[in-house]
Amino acid sequence: MAATGDSKLQIVAGTYEGMLYGWEASTKDLTGKKPKSALKMVYGYPAHTECIKALAMMMEHDGKTLLTGGNDEMIKIYNVKKKVEVGILMQHKGTITPLRLLSWGPSYQQVGPVNSIAVHPSGKLAFSVSKDKTLRMWNLVKGRSAYIRRLDQEATCVFLSQDGNRY
């Protein structure tokens, strides 16, 4: 479920048969009173060839991005405002059960625009250099800055060795 900015609540459900359904519920009518009709189906169609086991909706940006996943080993991406599929991720092996969306906006910890990012082979760390003349090490598990080093001048690129021991 996601609340949109226009006093509507979106409810999305996936079925065992691979169907995707969406409903809208008004939280108030033009007079400010409770609406007479609680739910209105706005879409329903076959989204997956097998059971849908995971749904995730981005709550920011009026809840317009929806991801679905299931037994067919695909993650599908939808724009629920426009009611269209915008992409498919197909490189998974096995059933998709958990889905989670993160909003990657500007970080309060990063002062200037980022010039370059390098992700450690473990996937747990990343390094960035930015216009504010800093090198930052990021803890990707906790989602925050782990180390900051001031540089004498602005760096434009950061690279890691293949084994991740040097940057």
Question: Where do the domains of the chain lie, and which CATH numbers do they carry?
Answer: 2-89 (2.40.10), 106-167 (no CATH)
The structure tokens 């003349």 sit at 133
Q: Which two tokens stand for residue 148?
A: 């900051």
The pLDDT value recorded for residue 24 is: 84
The rounded distance, in Å, linking the Cα atoms of 77 and 88 is 6
Residues forming beta bridges with residue 129, ordered by sequence position: 116, 135
**Given this model, what pLDDT does residue 49 score?**
94
pLDDT band at 35 (very low <50, low <70, confident <90, very high): low
Give the integer Cα–Cα distance in Å for 130 and 65: 29
Residue 129 DSSP SS3: strand
- What confidence tier does 135 reach under pLDDT thresholds 50, 70, 90? very high
What is the arithmetic mean of pLDDT over 133-147?
86
Distance CA 25, CA 14 (A): 18
Supply the pTM of this predicted model: 0.55
3-state helix, strand, coil in the chain (%, to 5): 0, 45, 55
Residue 41 tokens read as: 């189906």
